[in-house]
Amino acid sequence: MSVFSKARSRAYAAAALAIGAAAVGCNKDAITQVTDPDIFNTADYNTPAGATPLRIGVIANFTTAFDGGTDSYVTMSGNLADEMLASDTFDGRLTINARNSAEVNSEMEAVYRNMQRARSGAARAAAIIATTTPDSTVNRGELYMYLGYSEMLLGEGWCSGVPFSSEDGQTQTFGDPLPTDEIMARAAAHFDTALTLVGAATTPAALRVKYGAQIGKGRALLNRGQFAQAATAVSGVPTSYLLNTGHSANSSTNGQWSGTTSGNSRYKLVSGEGGNGLPFLGQTFAQDARIEWSASTRVGFSGQFTQLPNQNKFSQYGDGVVTTGAEARLIELEAQLQTDDQPTRDAVFASLNTLRTSGAPIGGRTGATAVTVPAMGGSAPTTKAAAIDLLYKERGFWFWITGHRLGDMRRLITVYQRDAETVFPTGPMATATSPIPGNYGTSTSVTIPFSERNNPKFQGCLD
């Protein structure tokens, strides 16, 4: 726009304001009493017309918490696990990687707040829509699906004792601290509600919710050690299924890209961290299509790390991945392995190879493109422990940087009774591979933030 055009526009605006002032008889208050289309008031969403904005808001809140921007559940959990480390100068990220989680951590508190916001928003929206548009059962089922995932991730990521408070727009009710097992039971119940609401509907929207809720329920039951029930829960989910989060220039960047691939990133992809970490970057794209990465000349935010590897699974505004049909198959195979005999291990080994060549999606930049991986050579493990190791390595590769790994590692400890120091990165933090000197700590979860002590029922982690 030229200078003259701008001046003319300002003149038109001034004239319009003058006309408006005259029209209201110089009533200054009336001039400012306008409707802001960006503000969504309580009266607006307690109507049938408010159902869609409420639903979209819940999805947006979940996306932000799960994998939106630099600090999200995916990057936080991958940092504590063995998928990435902090290439940063901020203690909030450094201490998580060092397994020294604490209540006071402003960077990680934001992730917790976002996940709680997604959870409470889904619960409120589901209750409102049940009143305003009770026939929209699929949309209500979708809200319960996101409610279940939010609760399950709070249980997988943070220490035992997460409270679920609620509010209705006027009053707040403080929640009781819940043991992790109770959180998983609660999440499974909400996935059940989602399935009930969807019922026998077969539209694409209904099947998206149905299969997502089935996998979510199966995962929650795995966390409780209920293997047979978990396998039953995921029965019928197609291997080709993919549940994404969406990102765009108008909403948020993909958290995996922002955290590990954008310029002087705050996080660094890692391989074999702390002795126990999986060799994620020991694979090349040609060898394993599930781990997409490439070399680069980038320098981390702290300047300590150079030539940071780029993940190529997710682009700046590319979709994220909540789950895929491969998870359903792996849940079924984990349930099989509870039968401790060699014929079962042989069958599971064969099925893992079948899954590798099934064309299951990995999501991300490639969307729902079929992915095939060469079959593993050799023969099946000969002990249950070794078979579980192999299955969890396969899980790690299928769900690389998608928010699964921390929950998997914690399940190895809580369900399979593994020693934490055989699961998590441990020992000296070598300066070549870790952000700070010294030894890894003992944290296996993120500490519930100090701000939660505003809840008089909360007195800290239960474990």
pLDDT value of residue 35 = 57
Are residues 105 and 96 in contact, defined by beta-carbon separation less than 8 angstroms?
Answer: yes
The one-letter code for the residue type at 55 is: R
Phi-psi region of 427 (alpha: psi -120 to 50; beta: other; left: phi over 0): left
What is the rounded CA–CA span in Å between residue 354 and residue 392?
16
pLDDT tens-digit map of 318-358: 999 999 999 999 999 999 999 999 999 999 999 999 999 99
Are residues 366 and 320 in contact, defined by beta-carbon separation less than 8 angstroms?
Answer: no
Which residues, including other chains, have CB under 8 Å from residue 269's CB and lie 6 or more apart? 83, 84, 260, 280, 281, 293, 308, 309, 310, 311, 401
Are residues 209 and 198 in contact, defined by beta-carbon separation less than 8 angstroms?
Answer: yes
Q: Which candidate, 179, 123, 171, 172, places its Cα nearest to that of 146?
A: 123
Which tokens go with 53? 């904005």
Phi-psi region of 248 (alpha: psi -120 to 50; beta: other; left: phi over 0): beta
Per the model's pLDDT, the better-predicted residue between 203 and 283 turns out to be 203
Q: Dihedral through CA 366, CA 370, CA 376, CA 382, nearest 10?
A: 100
71-to-10, 99, 258, 277 alpha-carbon distances in Å = 42, 17, 9, 21
CATH of 46-454, one of 3.30.43.10, 2.40.50.100, 1.25.40.390, 2.40.10.480: 1.25.40.390
Per the model's pLDDT, the better-predicted residue between 436 and 308 turns out to be 308
pLDDT value of residue 163 = 97
pLDDT value of residue 11 = 38
pLDDT value of residue 32 = 55
pLDDT tens-digit map of 375-398: 998 999 999 999 999 999 999 999
What is the rounded CA–CA span in Å between residue 324 and residue 394?
14
Count each helix (H run) and each strand (E run) in the chain, helices first: 16, 10
Q: Parallel, antiparallel, or unpaired for β 267-269 and 84-86? A: antiparallel
Q: How many CB atoms lie within 10 A of CB 163?
A: 16
Using alpha carbons only, give the angle 327, 331, 335 rounded to the nearest 5 degrees.
170
- Say if pTM beats, i.e. exceeds, 0.85: yes
pLDDT tens-digit map of 52-100: 999 999 999 999 999 998 999 999 999 999 999 999 889 899 999 999 9
Read off the pLDDT of each residue in 433-441 and give the average, rounded to a whole number.
79
Give the three-state DSSP class for 366.
helix
pLDDT value of residue 38 = 58
Are residues 177 and 458 in contact, defined by beta-carbon separation less than 8 angstroms?
Answer: yes
What is the rounded CA–CA span in Å between residue 314 and residue 418?
32
What is the rounded CA–CA span in Å between residue 370 and residue 384?
30
pLDDT value of residue 401 = 96
Query: Alpha helix locations (H) across 33-136?
Result: 42-45, 51-67, 73-80, 91-97, 106-132
What is the rounded CA–CA span in Å between residue 272 and residue 281?
8
| DSSP 8-state symbol, 266 | S
pLDDT value of residue 24 = 43
Whether the per-residue pLDDT at 36 is higher than 60: the answer is: no
pLDDT value of residue 1 = 38
Residue whose entry in the numeric block shows the structure tokens 């590692």: 409
pLDDT value of residue 432 = 56
Using alpha carbons only, give the angle 163, 168, 173 rounded to the nearest 5 degrees.
35
Q: Is 324 exposed, middle or buried (0-12, 13-18, 19+ CB in 10 A)?
A: buried
Which residues, including other chains, have CB under 8 Å from residue 294's CB and lie 6 or more apart? 285, 309, 310, 312
pLDDT value of residue 250 = 86
Are residues 403 and 153 in contact, defined by beta-carbon separation less than 8 angstroms?
Answer: yes
| φ/ψ of residue 54, rounded to 5 | -60, -50
| φ/ψ of residue 178, rounded to 5 | -110, 135
